[in-house]
Amino acid sequence: MMLSVGDIVQMKKKHPCGSDQWTVTRVGADVKIKCQGCEHVVMMDRPDFEKRLKKILVHAEEGEDA
């Protein structure tokens, strides 16, 4: 899966604030995401993230500085 900083992803379960859309802020062995609704930050290991991911909604632009 091609994942990069700045992507907007949809997770299988909604966050308690009601949003299911997150912005990717760090990619590596761990993935850090920030809720689009309340800006809560969550960090999880990559296999757990991939299991919980529903789909990538928006890919970040190539060459864009984060």
pLDDT computed for residue 34 by the predictor: 97
Model pTM score = 0.84
Task: Say what the pLDDT of residue 36 is.
Answer: 96
pLDDT tens per residue, range 5-64: 999 999 999 999 999 999 999 999 999 999 999 999 999 999 999 999 999 999 987 644
- The predicted pLDDT at position 66 comes to 45
* Pairwise CA distance, residues 58 & 48, whole Å: 20
In order of 38, 41, 51, 53, the CA distances from 1 in angstroms are: 27, 22, 12, 11
